Amino acid sequence: MILDDILKQTEKRVAQLPAAFPESPERDRVSLAAAIRNRHGKNAIIAEIKCASPSRGVIRRNVDMAMMAGVLRDGGCIALSVLTEPYFFGGTCKDIARVKSAVSLPVLRKDFIIDEHQIAESRALGADAVLLISAILKKRLPYFVDMVLDYGLEPLVEVRSAAEAELALSTKADLIGINNRDLSTLGIDRSTTKNLSGRVRYDRRLVVSESGMRSADDIREMKEYCDAFLIGSSIMAHEYPGKKLEEFVCA
Protein backbone atom coordinates (compact mmCIF):
# COMPACT_ATOMS: atom_id res chain seq x y z
CA MET A 1 0.00 0.00 0.00
CA ILE A 2 1.37 3.39 -0.98
CA LEU A 3 0.83 4.91 2.48
CA ASP A 4 2.97 2.20 4.06
CA ASP A 5 5.77 2.99 1.61
CA ILE A 6 5.51 6.71 2.38
CA LEU A 7 5.64 6.07 6.13
CA LYS A 8 8.69 3.83 5.80
CA GLN A 9 10.55 6.61 4.00
CA THR A 10 9.30 9.11 6.58
CA GLU A 11 10.71 6.98 9.39
CA LYS A 12 14.10 7.07 7.66
CA ARG A 13 13.93 10.87 7.35
CA VAL A 14 12.95 11.25 11.00
CA ALA A 15 15.87 9.07 12.10
CA GLN A 16 18.22 11.60 10.48
CA LEU A 17 16.75 14.66 12.22
CA PRO A 18 18.94 16.43 14.79
CA ALA A 19 18.09 16.16 18.47
CA ALA A 20 17.26 19.88 18.60
CA PHE A 21 16.59 22.71 16.19
CA PRO A 22 17.74 26.34 16.39
CA GLU A 23 15.07 28.81 17.29
CA SER A 24 13.58 30.43 14.22
CA PRO A 25 13.85 34.23 14.04
CA GLU A 26 11.29 36.00 16.19
CA ARG A 27 8.23 36.84 14.13
CA ASP A 28 4.49 36.83 14.47
CA ARG A 29 2.87 33.67 13.19
CA VAL A 30 0.15 34.22 10.61
CA SER A 31 -3.11 32.50 11.52
CA LEU A 32 -4.59 30.11 8.98
CA ALA A 33 -7.91 30.02 10.85
CA ALA A 34 -8.12 33.82 10.83
CA ALA A 35 -7.36 33.90 7.11
CA ILE A 36 -10.23 31.49 6.47
CA ARG A 37 -12.65 33.51 8.56
CA ASN A 38 -11.63 36.79 6.89
CA ARG A 39 -12.07 35.70 3.27
CA HIS A 40 -14.15 38.78 2.35
CA GLY A 41 -16.99 36.96 0.62
CA LYS A 42 -14.79 34.92 -1.73
CA ASN A 43 -14.03 31.22 -1.54
CA ALA A 44 -11.20 30.51 0.86
CA ILE A 45 -8.63 28.54 -1.12
CA ILE A 46 -5.47 27.12 0.42
CA ALA A 47 -3.35 26.70 -2.71
CA GLU A 48 -0.90 23.85 -2.55
CA ILE A 49 2.46 24.08 -4.26
CA LYS A 50 2.75 20.44 -5.34
CA CYS A 51 5.38 19.23 -7.80
CA ALA A 52 4.42 15.52 -7.85
CA SER A 53 2.10 12.98 -6.24
CA PRO A 54 1.76 9.18 -6.09
CA SER A 55 -1.51 9.33 -8.05
CA ARG A 56 -0.32 11.63 -10.86
CA GLY A 57 3.45 11.37 -10.94
CA VAL A 58 5.23 14.58 -11.94
CA ILE A 59 2.75 17.46 -11.97
CA ARG A 60 5.03 20.42 -12.67
CA ARG A 61 8.78 20.51 -13.24
CA ASN A 62 11.36 23.07 -12.16
CA VAL A 63 9.08 25.09 -9.93
CA ASP A 64 10.48 28.38 -8.64
CA MET A 65 8.90 28.32 -5.20
CA ALA A 66 9.11 32.04 -4.50
CA MET A 67 7.78 32.97 -7.90
CA MET A 68 4.93 30.44 -7.68
CA ALA A 69 4.02 31.73 -4.22
CA GLY A 70 3.67 35.22 -5.65
CA VAL A 71 1.55 33.99 -8.56
CA LEU A 72 -0.81 32.17 -6.23
CA ARG A 73 -1.01 35.08 -3.80
CA ASP A 74 -2.00 37.32 -6.70
CA GLY A 75 -4.53 34.69 -7.76
CA GLY A 76 -6.38 35.22 -4.50
CA CYS A 77 -5.55 32.30 -2.23
CA ILE A 78 -5.83 32.92 1.52
CA ALA A 79 -2.91 30.63 2.40
CA LEU A 80 -0.33 28.32 0.88
CA SER A 81 0.32 24.66 1.55
CA VAL A 82 3.89 23.51 1.00
CA LEU A 83 4.66 19.82 0.59
CA THR A 84 7.97 18.90 2.18
CA GLU A 85 7.90 15.13 1.50
CA PRO A 86 10.72 14.47 -1.01
CA TYR A 87 10.34 10.92 -2.29
CA PHE A 88 6.72 10.79 -3.42
CA PHE A 89 5.77 14.48 -3.69
CA GLY A 90 8.99 16.10 -4.85
CA GLY A 91 9.18 18.49 -1.93
CA THR A 92 11.94 19.72 0.36
CA CYS A 93 11.96 21.43 3.73
CA LYS A 94 13.81 24.37 2.18
CA ASP A 95 10.69 25.20 0.16
CA ILE A 96 8.98 26.70 3.20
CA ALA A 97 11.65 29.39 3.60
CA ARG A 98 11.53 30.10 -0.13
CA VAL A 99 7.78 30.63 0.02
CA LYS A 100 7.91 32.69 3.23
CA SER A 101 10.52 34.96 1.68
CA ALA A 102 8.08 35.90 -1.06
CA VAL A 103 4.67 36.24 0.63
CA SER A 104 3.14 37.09 4.00
CA LEU A 105 0.33 34.53 3.73
CA PRO A 106 -0.04 31.70 6.26
CA VAL A 107 2.01 28.67 5.26
CA LEU A 108 0.89 25.14 6.07
CA ARG A 109 3.57 22.48 6.23
CA LYS A 110 2.09 19.41 4.58
CA ASP A 111 3.98 16.23 5.32
CA PHE A 112 3.54 12.93 7.12
CA ILE A 113 4.09 13.86 10.75
CA ILE A 114 4.90 10.84 12.91
CA ASP A 115 7.42 12.17 15.42
CA GLU A 116 7.57 15.15 17.77
CA HIS A 117 10.90 16.24 16.29
CA GLN A 118 9.03 17.10 13.10
CA ILE A 119 6.97 19.63 15.05
CA ALA A 120 10.08 21.38 16.32
CA GLU A 121 11.47 21.21 12.79
CA SER A 122 8.28 22.80 11.41
CA ARG A 123 8.65 25.80 13.69
CA ALA A 124 12.33 26.16 12.86
CA LEU A 125 11.48 26.06 9.16
CA GLY A 126 9.07 28.96 9.57
CA ALA A 127 5.73 27.19 9.06
CA ASP A 128 2.59 28.72 10.54
CA ALA A 129 0.50 25.54 10.56
CA VAL A 130 1.11 21.79 10.40
CA LEU A 131 -0.95 18.97 8.92
CA LEU A 132 -1.69 16.10 11.31
CA ILE A 133 -3.26 12.99 9.78
CA SER A 134 -5.62 11.18 12.11
CA ALA A 135 -5.31 7.87 10.23
CA ILE A 136 -1.56 7.90 10.91
CA LEU A 137 -1.41 9.24 14.45
CA LYS A 138 -4.55 7.49 15.77
CA LYS A 139 -4.59 7.63 19.60
CA ARG A 140 -1.51 9.86 19.62
CA LEU A 141 -3.44 12.62 17.83
CA PRO A 142 -4.48 14.63 20.95
CA TYR A 143 -0.86 14.64 22.15
CA PHE A 144 0.39 15.90 18.79
CA VAL A 145 -2.31 18.59 18.60
CA ASP A 146 -1.27 19.87 22.01
CA MET A 147 2.38 19.82 21.00
CA VAL A 148 1.72 21.81 17.82
CA LEU A 149 -0.18 24.40 19.85
CA ASP A 150 2.60 24.51 22.47
CA TYR A 151 5.05 25.36 19.69
CA GLY A 152 2.87 28.30 18.68
CA LEU A 153 1.66 26.69 15.47
CA GLU A 154 -1.83 25.75 14.26
CA PRO A 155 -2.78 22.11 13.68
CA LEU A 156 -4.90 21.16 10.68
CA VAL A 157 -6.22 17.71 11.57
CA GLU A 158 -7.09 15.52 8.58
CA VAL A 159 -9.90 12.97 8.85
CA ARG A 160 -11.73 10.59 6.52
CA SER A 161 -14.25 8.75 8.70
CA ALA A 162 -16.79 9.46 11.42
CA ALA A 163 -14.54 7.80 14.00
CA GLU A 164 -11.57 9.95 12.97
CA ALA A 165 -13.77 13.05 13.08
CA GLU A 166 -14.83 12.25 16.64
CA LEU A 167 -11.20 11.79 17.63
CA ALA A 168 -10.29 15.12 16.03
CA LEU A 169 -13.16 16.85 17.82
CA SER A 170 -11.86 15.55 21.15
CA THR A 171 -8.75 17.69 20.61
CA LYS A 172 -8.22 21.46 20.72
CA ALA A 173 -7.80 21.70 16.95
CA ASP A 174 -9.84 24.52 15.40
CA LEU A 175 -9.20 23.33 11.83
CA ILE A 176 -10.48 19.98 10.62
CA GLY A 177 -9.53 18.88 7.11
CA ILE A 178 -11.80 16.31 5.48
CA ASN A 179 -9.82 14.40 2.87
CA ASN A 180 -11.88 13.23 -0.08
CA ARG A 181 -8.98 11.01 -1.16
CA ASP A 182 -8.65 7.54 0.32
CA LEU A 183 -4.96 7.27 1.25
CA SER A 184 -5.01 3.49 0.80
CA THR A 185 -6.51 3.43 -2.72
CA LEU A 186 -5.90 7.06 -3.80
CA GLY A 187 -9.51 7.17 -5.03
CA ILE A 188 -11.59 10.36 -4.73
CA ASP A 189 -15.08 10.66 -3.23
CA ARG A 190 -16.29 14.20 -2.51
CA SER A 191 -19.26 12.85 -0.54
CA THR A 192 -16.78 12.31 2.29
CA THR A 193 -16.87 16.04 3.00
CA LYS A 194 -20.64 16.15 2.64
CA ASN A 195 -21.10 13.29 5.10
CA LEU A 196 -18.73 14.51 7.81
CA SER A 197 -18.94 18.31 7.69
CA GLY A 198 -22.21 18.64 9.64
CA ARG A 199 -20.80 16.94 12.72
CA VAL A 200 -17.61 18.98 12.59
CA ARG A 201 -19.45 22.28 12.15
CA TYR A 202 -21.85 21.41 14.97
CA ASP A 203 -18.79 21.53 17.22
CA ARG A 204 -17.93 25.00 15.84
CA ARG A 205 -14.76 23.92 14.07
CA LEU A 206 -13.69 25.10 10.63
CA VAL A 207 -13.98 22.55 7.81
CA VAL A 208 -11.35 22.38 5.07
CA SER A 209 -12.30 20.13 2.15
CA GLU A 210 -9.19 18.47 0.75
CA SER A 211 -8.63 16.84 -2.66
CA GLY A 212 -10.80 16.28 -5.70
CA MET A 213 -11.64 19.85 -6.75
CA ARG A 214 -11.07 20.13 -10.48
CA SER A 215 -13.43 22.89 -11.63
CA ALA A 216 -15.45 25.89 -10.51
CA ASP A 217 -18.52 23.64 -10.67
CA ASP A 218 -16.97 21.39 -8.01
CA ILE A 219 -16.50 24.41 -5.74
CA ARG A 220 -20.10 25.53 -6.24
CA GLU A 221 -21.29 22.02 -5.43
CA MET A 222 -19.22 21.74 -2.27
CA LYS A 223 -18.94 25.19 -0.71
CA GLU A 224 -22.05 24.89 1.45
CA TYR A 225 -20.35 21.99 3.22
CA CYS A 226 -17.06 23.62 4.14
CA ASP A 227 -15.29 26.83 5.09
CA ALA A 228 -12.24 26.41 2.88
CA PHE A 229 -10.68 24.21 0.22
CA LEU A 230 -7.17 22.82 -0.07
CA ILE A 231 -6.36 22.44 -3.78
CA GLY A 232 -3.07 21.43 -5.34
CA SER A 233 -2.96 19.28 -8.46
CA SER A 234 -5.66 21.11 -10.42
CA ILE A 235 -3.85 24.41 -9.93
CA MET A 236 -0.28 23.22 -10.41
CA ALA A 237 -1.05 21.16 -13.52
CA HIS A 238 -2.67 24.10 -15.29
CA GLU A 239 -0.67 26.10 -17.83
CA TYR A 240 -1.57 29.26 -15.92
CA PRO A 241 -1.83 28.34 -12.21
CA GLY A 242 -2.90 31.84 -11.11
CA LYS A 243 -5.76 31.89 -13.62
CA LYS A 244 -6.97 28.44 -12.53
CA LEU A 245 -6.85 29.54 -8.91
CA GLU A 246 -8.95 32.60 -9.70
CA GLU A 247 -11.66 30.31 -11.07
CA PHE A 248 -11.84 28.53 -7.72
CA VAL A 249 -11.71 31.73 -5.68
CA CYS A 250 -14.55 33.37 -7.62
CA ALA A 251 -16.77 30.32 -8.23
Q: Hey, which residues are catalytic here?
A: 48, 50, 110, 158, 179, 210-211
Nearest 10 degrees: Cα torsion 48, 172, 183, 44 = -30
Element (H, E) at 53: strand 52-53
Half-sphere exposure of 19 toward its Cβ, with a 13 Å CA cutoff?
0
What residues pair up with 179 in beta bridges, in sequence order?
A: 210
**What one-character-per-residue DSSP string does 178-205 give?**
EE-B-TTT--B-THHHHHHHHHHHHTTP
Q: Are 126 and 107 in contact (CB under 8 A)?
A: yes
Long-range contacts of 237-242 (CB under 8 A, 24+ apart): 237/56, 237/59, 237/60, 241/47, 241/68, 241/71, 241/72, 241/75, 242/71, 242/72, 242/74, 242/75
User: What is the spatial distance between Cα 83 and Cα 75, in angstroms, rounded to a whole number?
Assistant: 19
**Three-state DSSP state, 176:** strand
Q: Which residues contact 196 (CB under 8 A, 6 or more apart)?
A: 159, 161, 162, 165, 178
